Amino acid sequence: MSQNTPEARSRPEVLIIGAGIAGLTLAMLLEQINIPYHIFERAEEVKPLGSAMSFTGSLFPALEQLGIYEELKQVSKAYTQVDFYDAHIKKMGVYPVEEYYVASGYHTQIFSRPRFYEILLKRVPKQKISFKKKILRTEEKEGKVHIHCSDNTSYTGDILVGADGAYSGVRQSMYKLMEGKGILPKADLEDFVINYTTIVGVATPSDPEKYPKLKGEDSSFNQVIYGDGANCYVVTLPDNQISWGFGVQLPESSPKEMHFRNSEWAPEVKDTTLNRYRDFPSPVGGSMGDLFDATPKDLISKVFIEEKMFKTCYNSRSVLIGDAWHKFHPAGGKGAQHAIQDAISLANCLYGMKDSSLKSISSAFGEYYKQRYDRNVAMFNGSAAFAKILNGQKIMERLTRKLVLKMLTHLTLKSGIRKDLEYRPQVAWLPLIENRGNGPVLPQEFGESNSARAVGV
């Protein structure tokens, strides 16, 4: 390690609620710096659900530090552009993803969510994850945080991390306490916005002769805009797999009871939407129905899409990361990436703590908020705007969609990509990765105790 470790200091014990991507990433980081932790997951087991994910060069320097980047490349494909089509597979525009490589030195990679989850899971000791642990309530007393589970077990620590998704129990407990004290912003009491639903799946390995785009070294990333409030993506993955997903805009008149509180991938799907588009042509060949039929039914997931950016991410000994703090529309493709960056930033701030006192914890949380809030707000707004471009049915939304798709290769878009890549957070205690692209990089932010390392690379 390049910095003095916290081993000689009083180290906080961290309770992580949720064994998703955010929770596992934080655990992996804490494992490296010997901060004691344990993960509590309410599910009985990890299920290989979800669809395709992609990361850009803003995340890869940190993954390279952690020894994950090369392993991820082995189960992913690079892609240089996103092709946009209408319902008849007539090309409408091209998004120049290659600019991400020019600016950062890293190709944008795409892969299946289960494969990346496996990479993270094997880096966390099995004995440090407890499944079937549903948290009923949390409390603070005698200078500690306590969690109480439905199986009548209780656990104690110094820090409680909510990595438990959009309907986070940690957030709800924290907000209830803050509301009682009159210190919770009113905006944080407002409901999620739920305007979309999505259905995703990964087909079993397919025949490259039937789908020639599987033969390419790079991934073929295709986005189809149907113009009736629906869109889909079809992406080629390693091992001759094809990932697909549908996004459907809900009617404004849809009753609230339709919005089931299901923010996790679940193997439940009604065939109504899929049947509607079965006979439509696929951008990789054949029909969409061919891809639906090639996907195991228990691995097709349907969820309602919540959107909300909460103002408050910490109070006293509790802190939120990932979807528990900010739930983006997946159209922006950055939800998992920002969850990982949350975990990196929080771990850096915990690493710089002087001791495990509440004062030090509050200082670390404050620094974490300072580093992440504005960036998460920007991504939240960007994802919401892009969702309207893909799905919007109002006159102005349709006109905006046509204009944006025509301008996708414009220089202003490339400028926006370079701006997006300026922020490339790295891990404080590992050797820094130098900039390999020609784009600018913001100074690293490691917290007050590590300010000597806050330099550009």
User: Which tokens sit at 372?
Assistant: 């992440």
SS3 category, 333: coil
Torsions phi, psi for 287 (to 5 deg): -110, 165
pLDDT tens by residue, the chain, 457 residues: 334 444 444 789 999 999 999 999 999 999 999 999 999 999 987 765 667 899 999 999 999 999 999 999 999 999 999 898 989 999 988 888 888 999 999 999 999 888 999 999 999 999 999 999 999 999 999 899 999 999 999 999 999 999 999 999 999 999 999 999 999 999 999 988 888 888 888 999 999 999 999 999 999 999 998 878 788 999 999 999 999 998 887 776 554 544 444 444 444 445 677 888 999 999 999 999 999 999 988 788 887 888 899 999 999 999 999 999 999 877 667 889 999 999 999 999 999 898 999 999 999 999 999 999 999 998 888 887 777 776 666 667 667 777 777 766 665 677 778 888 999 999 999 999 999 999 999 999 886 655 544 444 5
| Helix H or strand E segment including 25 | helix 21-32
Q: Which segments of 142-258 are extended strands (E)?
A: 144-149, 154-157, 159-162, 193-202, 221-225, 230-237, 241-249
The pLDDT of residue 399 is: 74
What CATH number does domain 6-77+108-191+307-453 carry, 3.50.50.60, 1.10.3720.10, 3.40.50.2300, 3.40.50.1980? 3.50.50.60
SS3 category, 93: strand
With beta carbons less than 8 A apart as the criterion, state whether 393 and 252 touch: no
Q: Rounded to whole angstroms, how far apart are CA atoms 62 and 259?
A: 36
* Number of Cβ atoms within 10 Å of the Cβ of 5: 14
Residues in the chain: 457
Torsions phi, psi for 74 (to 5 deg): -70, -25
User: Which tokens sit at 171?
Assistant: 């957030």
> What pTM does this model have?
0.90
Residue 403 CA from chain centroid, whole number: 28
Strands 14-17, 159-162: pairing is: parallel
With beta carbons less than 8 A apart as the criterion, state whether 444 and 456 touch: yes
Q: Rounded to whole angstroms, how far apart are CA atoms 423 and 444?
A: 8
User: Which tokens sit at 362?
Assistant: 């509050």
* Number of Cβ atoms within 10 Å of the Cβ of 350: 30
User: CATH for 193-306?
Assistant: 3.30.9.30
Among 304, 296, 287, which Cα is nearest to 250's? 304
**Domain residue ranges in the chain:** 6-77+108-191+307-453, 193-306
What DSSP assignment string belongs to 398-443?
HHHHHHHHHTTTSHHHHHHHHHHTT-----TTSPPPPP-SSS--PP
* Number of Cβ atoms within 10 Å of the Cβ of 256: 7
- Burial zone of 74 (CB within 10 Å; 0-12 exposed, 13-18 middle, 19+ buried): exposed
Q: Which segments of 337-381 are extended strands (E)?
A: none
